[in-house]
Amino acid sequence: MKKVKKGAKNPPVRGVRRDGGGGSPFALFTAVGVMFVLVIFAGMYAWQRSSSSESITELKQEIEDLRSEFVQSREMKEEELKEKQEASDDEKVIETVERSLPLWVYFWRSIDSDFDLAAFNKTNVREMKEMETLLQEEGEDGLSDMENGASMRRNLITYSLDQAYYVDPYGSVYMHTENGEVRAGFDVDSYVRIVDVENNLFADELFCGPSCSYEDVAWIDNASFVLVGSEEVYEESLSDGTAEDGGLRVPMLWLFDLENKTVTLYVGEKVKSDRYVLQGSYLELKYPELFEDEEIKE
């Protein structure tokens, strides 16, 4: 039997509180702190969800604004490219006429010393006509509706660079032989014929009476060419306000785009038609051997 020392306390029994079962202040404070932290986190979560929803809305708006700005920018760039392309087309027309048709430029400058290709104004753009099958009875290669003149017109037509097309701008000109020599004359009406050689197709694009003339052609590339000519118009006064008794002559350019099937008209400054008449026909200047003693039929 073990002896118990005096003054010795009974050892604590494991798992049994000796303070009467009450919680300590630290434990209570800890519990309250945890609850407080949980409340804070819950509030932050709710706020984040609300902020996240607002952020998503703002982000969607920013994306929509950026998309709108992109569309506007693209449209502006497309418009700028279109304007540059149009300016480029205008420059090509001027360069082609000056380089390939110097006689025509000289002819008009002899009529009007102020003649300037850069002063031509673009007036309208239209679609080209649909091509039709070229009938054999129109003559060899379809160059003319006069059988005897078909082969003679070879010097009057202008082929594209790849020989796939040709243009005959002289529908008013008929060919014949005189004393064994080839001669040409003028009919009242005129037209411009475009021929697709490979597919045996043609289109008569322009028509006019004796008041106009189609004078020459120059190809820009295999799919586009420039036609030059002029037309007589009647007005009461010139652009400077001075009186005008007779008609006025207007130089013109036509840009044919075979790929896009469009025709663009450019119009130059008017001059008194009597200057044009005194200078004589451009074709007579270009082909003097063909038009000796020939006059336009009235």
Check whether residue 118 and residue 51 sit in a common domain.
Answer: no
Looking at the structure, tell me whether residues 57 and 169 fall in a common domain.
Answer: no
- In terms of domains, do 257 and 133 share one? yes
Indicate the pLDDT class of residue 119, thresholds 50, 70 and 90: very high
Residue 96 lies in a domain: yes
One domain, residues 129 and 249: yes
Q: Are residues 125 and 82 in the same domain?
A: no
In the predicted model, what is the mean pLDDT of residues 10-17? 49
What local confidence, expressed as pLDDT, does residue 140 receive?
Answer: 47
Residue 167 within any structural domain of the chain: yes
Average pLDDT taken over every residue of the chain: 74
Question: Is pLDDT at 35 greater than 50 in this prediction?
Answer: yes
Residue 207 clears pLDDT 80, i.e. is over it: yes
Q: Evaluate whether residue 42 is within a structural domain.
A: yes
Q: Where is 249: in which H helix or E strand?
A: strand 248-257
Mean pLDDT of all residues in 231-254? 71
Return the SS3 of 18: coil
Say whether both 71 and 152 belong to one domain: no
Same domain, yes or no, for 91 and 128?
no
Residue 196 lies inside a defined structural domain of this protein: yes
215, 228 in Cβ contact below 8 A? yes
Residue 96 shares a structural domain with residue 106: no
48-57, 107-116, 129-138, range with greatest mean pLDDT: 107-116
Over residues 54-105, the pLDDT tens digits come to 666 776 677 677 777 767 766 665 565 555 555 578 899 999 999 999 999 9
Please say which residue of 69, 100, 131 terminates a domain.
100
- Considering the domain architecture, whether residues 55 and 148 belong to the same structural domain is answered as no
Q: What percent of the chain has pLDDT over 70?
A: 58
188 lies in some domain: yes
The answer to whether residue 88 is domain-embedded is: yes
Question: Which of 63-67, 123-127, 236-240 has the highest average model confidence (pLDDT)?
Answer: 123-127
Q: Do 96 and 113 sit in the same domain of this protein? A: no
- Shared-domain flag, residues 177 and 241: yes
Neighbours of 294 (CB within 10 A): 15
18 domain-assigned: no
Confidence of residue 251 (pLDDT cuts 50, 70, 90): very high
Summarize the confidence of residues 242-252 as an average pLDDT: 72
6 vs 193, more confident: 193
Distance CA 14, CA 85 (A): 98
Name the pTM for this structure. Answer: 0.63
Domain end call among 38, 66, 100: 100
Based on the fold, state whether residues 67 and 183 are members of the same structural domain: no
| Structure tokens given for 267 | 């119009």
284 bridge partner residues: none
- Count of domains for the chain: 2
State which of 100, 115, 142 marks the end of a domain.
100
The pLDDT of residue 17 is 47
Domain housing 273: 102-286
Give the residue carrying structure tokens 């001669």: 183
- Kindly state the helix (H) or strand (E) to which residue 33 belongs, with its residue range: helix 25-100
Query: Which pLDDT belongs to residue 24?
Result: 61
